[in-house]
Amino acid sequence: MPPTFSIVLPTLRPKLLALTLHSIHRNSVGHDYEVVVVSPFDASGDRVRWSPERIVGGPIAAHAQGVGDSRGDILITMTDDTIALPGWLDTIEQRIATGERTWVPFCLGLNRINSPAVGTVFGRYYAYFPIMSRRSVDALGGMYGGMYDTAYRGNWADPDLGLRIWASGGRVEFCAEARTMASTLQRYFPEAEHKNTRPQVRFEMFFERWGHLAGDTFSRRLVDVNRNFPLSVLRNNTVYVEQVKLPRSFIERAAREWHWQYLRVISRLWREWNRVRLRNYDSSYLDDWTPEQMYLHEIRRASRSLIGRFGRGGYVSRASVGSLVQEVPFTQ
């Protein structure tokens, strides 16, 4: 019988993979899941299905391969610099079932608690890390090849997926309870070669496909098309604003709010960074660290760095190692 969840995880970095897998296994107890790892090195293990990378074509091709090789009913896309937190899978199955009673295709987005923002493109929310059922993925099968269009290679595939869902009469929602965290240790490891390859070319391809949504509100400038906003802009767990109704005051207010939130987060992270002894960006420093040590290091740093309130998003009011992951961002 297929597992409930298939977590698709491309990677080129074994040490970061060990940390991410440790967090998944540690915080997914009681759930039926598999992790589909797409990599050029053997990553077989408990609940891990290794899918040897067949085409060196960047992260989008690797995600597409992992989706194709997965068996679960619900697909969750991740990266190797993402840490799963306690309770992250608890509400996903019910949220998907509830959403698909009204919208197919339907998509949820993971919540990265140390990146309190939602991405929008042409005023519509898209998921940084999409979560979809096979039913919803199949509903997109006729549009540019299913969940991921590999033509994008390393950029713009997630916004494209979001717009295909909206264009098909579906819906994309932020899932605050699906808590994860961006790894701070990932800076010690180089990014995938194709991750940021020719981003302007991919943007031109994206705009050619979706530029008709620009209307009179959005220019051809990337910063106008693709905007990040604070969690406070969410209404019913999403953002969908028709271009003719998108007031400049809304953009300016949200941009100011996000700017100050961003500065507060960065300043806190920078202060914490200066207090630790990981001074040079040499991954060999981490050779003797176990996945559990890396995981606890990440939690401790986050618990010191993410204390404070961030607008109406009500981000993390008080945090400690024990309580950090229990304080779920409040969204309207």
Q: What is the CATH number for 93?
A: 3.90.550.10
User: Does a structural domain hold residue 308?
Assistant: no
Strand order in the sheet with 171-182: 48-52, 33-39, 5-10, 74-77, 130-133, 106-112, 171-182, 82-84
The answer to whether residues 120 and 90 touch, using CB atoms and an 8 Å cutoff, is no
| Distance from chain centroid for Cα 31 | 20
User: Does a structural domain hold residue 192?
Assistant: yes
User: Does a structural domain hold residue 229?
Assistant: yes
Give me the residues of the chain with pLDDT under 70, please: 1-2, 142-145, 190-200, 215-217, 223, 241-283, 285, 303-332
Instruction: Tell me how far apart the alpha carbons of residues 187 and 183 are, in angstroms, rounded to a whole number.
Output: 8
Give the residue from 129, 120, 115 showing the smallest Cα distance to 315. 115
Residue-level pLDDT at 145? 59
Tell me the residue ranges of DSSP E strands in the chain: 5-10, 33-39, 48-52, 74-77, 82-84, 106-112, 117-121, 124-126, 130-133, 171-182, 226-230
> Residue 300: is it exposed, middle or buried by C-beta count within 10 angstroms (0-12/13-18/19+)?
middle
Tell me which residue has tokens 């986050």. Answer: 302
Q: Supply angle C-alpha 28, 6, 51, rounded to 5.
A: 120
User: Does a structural domain hold residue 237?
Assistant: yes
In the predicted model, what is the mean pLDDT of the chain? 78
**DSSP-derived pairing of the beta strands 226-230 and 117-121:** antiparallel
324 CB-near residues (< 8 Å, 6+ apart): 113, 299, 302, 303, 306, 316
Q: Within 10 A of 100 (CB to CB), how many other CB atoms are there?
A: 18
pLDDT tens across 154-178, in order?
778 999 999 999 999 999 999 999 9
Residue-level pLDDT at 217? 67
Going 230 to 233 to 237 to 238, the CA torsion angle's sign is negative
Domain of 57? 5-246
User: Does a structural domain hold residue 61?
Assistant: yes
Residue-level pLDDT at 273? 46
Residue-level pLDDT at 143? 54
User: Does a structural domain hold residue 323?
Assistant: no
User: Does a structural domain hold residue 256?
Assistant: no
User: Does a structural domain hold residue 59?
Assistant: yes
Our count of domains for the chain comes to 1
